[in-house]
């Protein structure tokens, strides 16, 4: 990395110095930056640590946001299979992003946007576009400085907006990865430019426990800190993931060998719920040491009243229910992350422990249907793409509809509800979505005109926030507390085919939410059923600890009601 420095010309450095208010005027930068890196292994939960720290800072009154830098070459994770990268999270402005942004929104109750997620693909795309426009005429375009400058610019976009006191930037991957090097170099430069106490590094590592030796081991952490040092970065704070309590000796050893103050060694022990992590980080003093390093006042203790109320309800449920989540990516927990978290928020609100049984839609056959649905008091049919597993989803919808089991269909789940009703109630044999069967005699779900000419797959779906008008007197409107206009996030290409709307409505499945400008159906419901709603959008993306989503809240309430009725019926 350092070898490339010789390519930076004097012109470039002068240009940079004149641009940078910190170095020029010696003033304190308006926004403070926290970089979160990871060492030893992936999957340590950097996103949760970053979100927890952000929560603590926010609870002390600092306007805080988080950004994720992902080192892969996809322009966004929209084209990644959920098996590869977990769920794709969608923001109001229609960005398809890393699922960590979901944690940020759920913890902070602050909206994120395209600027909060940057990938190597996007960085290169932008640099290459600039090169083609002639913005670097005469120059050799290189990783340093062009790629690193682009990264630095992206990091500072949020800070320069003036909306935040603190920006936390999480660097994806593990230090030492080839892919992460330009990001690490950009962070090194920014630390140097912004100066001490304007930018710090929090390094998350693993302290493995060797059961044969009965010991916690610090060596992998020492090595990852050393790897960071080789790139010119000194960790200010170490957050140590561990399955066992760190002893005083271990903390001292980590401090000494990793060159950090003892109070900057923070233990992050396994938690029973991710929502405990902010509290655990506060007990360890992560927020205090962070503020000290950033030279910010720490006299106002964090106000976590609302958070603690949520935790209290979450941990002390009065009731228990079991719902089925029918999908085809059930092997990987992260594939339906936002749905599971939205259910957790709704459970806490209703003081209900909601057990979620993941059901693989491919395993639901006519023969296994009854047994798979046994013991469920509610059914969610999940979003998805492609043909695999859809017949199982349709069977699950039929079961919910016929048995009066509360049903929530999300995106593809709503489309399956429409197909099921078409085939089994309206007698439209072979009804389907043109995504699954181009030649279906009844294309009840089909492409919008605008989508027909699109050939590029990346970023071309109906994405982000769209308005929806709720029809008076419907269950949907009741669930949304009587509101008439809502806005929800989308990520799909296919739509309810309005040619069939009249037939469906007279048959009993009504459109209770519509986008007025386009006439597109956003919500369908079955008035003859206790609680049956399908939504073309993704309500799960907007559920937060502070604001559980009304649709999930209403669903869990209906599920509880259904359970009570079931047991009353049994008693009678
Ligand atoms: N595959 C469907 C579509 O593109 C549904 C997408 C989804 O569930 N997010 O319309």
Residue 411 CB less than 6 A away from ligand 1: yes
How distant, in Å, are the alpha carbons of 49, 63, 64 from that of 55? 10, 10, 8
Of 519, 537, 418, the C-alpha closest to 466 is: 537
* pTM to 2 decimal places: 0.90
User: Of 90, 409, 415, 535, which is best to mutate to test ligand 1, by the most ligand atoms within 8 angstroms of its C-beta?
Assistant: 415
CA–centroid distance, 134 to ligand 1, in Å, is 39
Residue 492 CB less than 6 A away from ligand 1: yes
Res. 275: pLDDT tops 80: yes
Residues 6+ apart with CB under 8 A from 241: 44, 45, 204, 205, 206, 207, 268
Q: Is 411 annotated as catalytic?
A: yes
Please report the pLDDT score of residue 12 as a whole number: 39
Q: Is 363 annotated as catalytic?
A: no
User: Of 493, 497, 538, 541, which is best to mutate to test ligand 1, by the most ligand atoms within 8 angstroms of its C-beta?
Assistant: 493
Poorest-pLDDT segment among 4-18, 101-115, 403-417, 462-476: 4-18
Tokens of 375: 């013991």
Angstrom distance (rounded) from CA 333 to CA 529: 31
- Mean pLDDT across 301-326: 96
Please report the pLDDT score of residue 215 as a whole number: 93
Phi, psi torsion values for 224, nearest 5 degrees: -70, -35
Residues 6+ apart with CB under 8 A from 315: 273
Please report the pLDDT score of residue 19 as a whole number: 36
Please report the pLDDT score of residue 453 as a whole number: 67
Please report the pLDDT score of residue 13 as a whole number: 39
**Max Cα separation, the chain?**
87
pLDDT-based confidence at residue 18 (cuts at 50, 70, 90): very low
Please name the residue whose Cα sits nearest to atom 3 of ligand 1.
492
Residue 435 CB less than 6 A away from ligand 1: yes
Parallel/antiparallel/unpaired status of strands 521-525 and 510-514: antiparallel
Res. 15: pLDDT tops 70: no
Say which of 411, 469, 490, 522 is annotated catalytic.
Answer: 411
Mean pLDDT of the chain: 91
Residue 384 CB less than 6 A away from ligand 1: yes
Residue 489 CB less than 6 A away from ligand 1: no
Q: Between 20 and 261, where is the model more confident?
A: 261
Cα 270-276-279 angle, rounded to 5 deg: 110
State the Cα torsion 91-97-98-104 to the nearest 10°.
-20
CA–centroid distance, 107 to ligand 1, in Å, is 27
Neighbours of 342 (CB within 10 A): 29
Res. 332: pLDDT tops 90: no
**Residue whose tokens read 């709307």:** 501
Q: Is 312 annotated as catalytic?
A: no
Residue 535 CB less than 6 A away from ligand 1: no
Residue 185 CB less than 6 A away from ligand 1: no
Res. 521: pLDDT tops 90: yes
pLDDT-based confidence at residue 11 (cuts at 50, 70, 90): very low
Res. 29: pLDDT tops 70: no
- Decide: helix, strand or coil at residue 462: strand
Please name the residue whose Cα sits nearest to atom 1 of ligand 1.
385
Neighbours of 570 (CB within 10 A): 7
How distant, in Å, are the alpha carbons of 375, 565, 571 from that of 568? 15, 5, 5
Which atom, in ligand 1's list, is nearest to the CA of 495? Answer: 10
Res. 17: pLDDT tops 50: no
CA–centroid distance, 412 to ligand 1, in Å, is 5
**Residue whose tokens read 């419907």:** 474
Q: What is the pLDDT of residues 440-469, one digit of tens each?
A: 999 999 997 777 766 676 767 889 999 999
Poorest-pLDDT segment among 7-21, 149-163, 214-228: 7-21
Residues 6+ apart with CB under 8 A from 178: none
Angstrom distance (rounded) from CA 212 to CA 468: 59
Please name the residue whose Cα sits nearest to atom 5 of ligand 1.
412
- Mean pLDDT across 328-355: 93
Q: Between 421 and 3, where is the model more confident?
A: 421
| 8 Å CB contact between 171 and 202 | no
Is the torsion defined by CA of 548, 553, 555, 559 positive or negative? positive
Say which of 203, 420, 540, 562 is annotated catalytic.
Answer: 540
Is the torsion defined by CA of 149, 151, 156, 161 positive or negative? positive
């Amino acid at each position: 990395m350092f070898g490339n420095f010789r390519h930076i010309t004097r012109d470039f450095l002068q240009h940079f110095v004149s641009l940078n208010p910190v170095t020029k005027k010696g003033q304190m930068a308006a926004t403070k930056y926290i970089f979160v890196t990871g060492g030893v292994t992936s999957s340590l939960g950097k996103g949760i640590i970053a979100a927890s720290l952000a929560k603590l800072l926010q609870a002390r009154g600092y306007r805080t946001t988080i950004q994720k830098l992902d080192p892969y070459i996809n322009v966004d994770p929209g084209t990644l299979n959920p098996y590869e990268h977990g769920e794709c999270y969608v923001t109001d402005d229609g960005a398809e992003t890393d699922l960590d942004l979901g944690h940020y929104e759920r913890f902070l109750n602050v909206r994120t946007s395209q600027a909060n997620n940057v990938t190597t693909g996007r960085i290169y795309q932008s640099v290459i576009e600039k090169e083609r426009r002639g913005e670097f005429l005469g120059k050799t375009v290189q990783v340093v400085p062009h790629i690193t400058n682009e990264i630095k610019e992206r990091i500072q976009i949020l800070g320069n907006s003036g909306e935040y006191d603190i920006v936390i930037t999480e660097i994806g991957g593990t230090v030492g990865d080839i892919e992460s090097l330009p990001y690490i170099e950009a962070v090194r430069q920014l630390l140097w430019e912004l100066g001490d106490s304007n930018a710090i590094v929090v390094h998350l590592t693993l302290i493995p426990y060797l059961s044969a030796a009965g010991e916690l081991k610090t060596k992998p952490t020492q090595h990852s800190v050393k790897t960071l040092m080789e790139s010119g970065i000194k960790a200010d704070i170490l957050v140590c993931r561990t399955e066992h309590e760190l002893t005083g000796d271990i903390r001292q050893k980590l401090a000494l060998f990793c060159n950090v103050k003892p109070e900057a060694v923070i233990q992050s022990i396994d938690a029973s719920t991710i929502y405990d992590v902010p509290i655990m980080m506060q007990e360890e003093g992560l927020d205090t040491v962070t503020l000290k390093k950033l030279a910010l006042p720490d006299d106002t203790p964090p106000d976590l009243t609302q958070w603690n109320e949520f935790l209290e309800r979450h941990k002390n449920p009065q009731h228990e229910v079991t719902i089925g989540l029918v999908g085809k990516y059930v092997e990987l927990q992260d594939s339906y992350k936002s749905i599971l978290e939205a259910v957790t928020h709704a459970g806490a609100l209703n003081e209900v422990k909601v057990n979620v049984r993941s059901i693989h839609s491919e395993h639901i056959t006519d023969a296994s249907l009854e047994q798979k649905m046994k013991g469920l008091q509610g059914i969610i049919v999940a979003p998805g793409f492609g043909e695999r597993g859809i017949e199982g989803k349709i069977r699950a919808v039929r079961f919910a509809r016929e048995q009066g089991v509360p049903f929530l269909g999300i995106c593809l789940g709503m489309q399956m509800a429409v197909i099921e009703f078409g085939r089994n109630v309206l007698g439209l044999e072979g009804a389907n979505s043109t995504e699954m069967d181009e030649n279906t005699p009844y294309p009840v779900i089909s492409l919008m005109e605008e989508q027909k000419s699109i050939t590029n797959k990346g970023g071309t779906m109906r994405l982000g926030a769209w308005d929806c008008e709720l029809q008076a007197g419907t269950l949907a409107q009741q669930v949304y507390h009587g509101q008439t206009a809502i806005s929800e996030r989308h990520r799909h290409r296919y739509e309810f085919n309005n040619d069939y709307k009249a037939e469906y409505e007279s048959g009993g499945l009504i459109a209770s939410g519509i986008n007025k400008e386009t006439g597109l159906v956003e919500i369908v419901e079955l008035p003859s059923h206790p609680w049956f709603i399908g939504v073309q959008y993704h309500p799960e993306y907007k559920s937060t600890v502070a604001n559980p989503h009304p649709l999930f809240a209403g669903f869990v309430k209906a599920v509880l009601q259904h359970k009570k009725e079931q047991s009353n019926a049994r008693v009678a």
